[in-house]
Structure 1
Amino acid sequence: MVNSKADNSKREQFRHYLEKSGVMDTLTKVFVALYEEPKKPNSFLKHYLGAAGAPENPTVEALQLEVAKVKKKYKVVLEENKRFQAKLAQYEPPQEEKWGE
């Protein structure tokens, strides 16, 4: 009997959390939209809730492509920096021959 009250209390706390965080409202809106949909597509919930997996949003795909391009450019710039540093080292005097020391 005591265990049952504790379980009910935990459920009530969790339900309150879901309501306070807006999860209940979001799910209600999604289920209402599904109910009103004449044809029930298999991917309805995935589309509305943003299920994990391959992104379907064109903005996300565009950003992923941009990130890939920037990573490639970053690698090129790092290599170029190494070459310039090596070239610069040829023209700098050794530490012990610097003026003013």
Structure 2
Amino acid sequence: MAHYKATDSKCQQFRRYLEKSGVLDTLTKVLVALYEEPEKPNNALDFLKHHLGTATPENPEIELLRLELAEMKEKYEAIVEENKKLKTKLAQYEPSQEEKRAE
């Protein structure tokens, strides 16, 4: 009987931990969203994974990294475009293959 009470106490502690950390609220919200879906998805587990991923609050550091990535992509595209222009310009001043052979 003592083993049962120890296990019950651990379960209660774990439940309080889940409540304090917001896990139970988040799971409840996602399950309610699944319940309220007019057309149930074929794969309920994928639905849960997708909605749990969006239910977590955004880390400000992640948002900063996303902005930095977008900025770097823009810079990259600009550099690629500049490189193309410079190659075209350079090709105008380099002797053609035929001229090189004649020399």
Task: Looking at secondary structure, tell me which structure has more helix per residue.
Answer: 2
Higher RCO (Cα < 8 Å, 6 or more apart): 2
Q: TM-score, normalised by structure 1?
A: 0.50
The normalised TM-score by structure 2 is 0.49
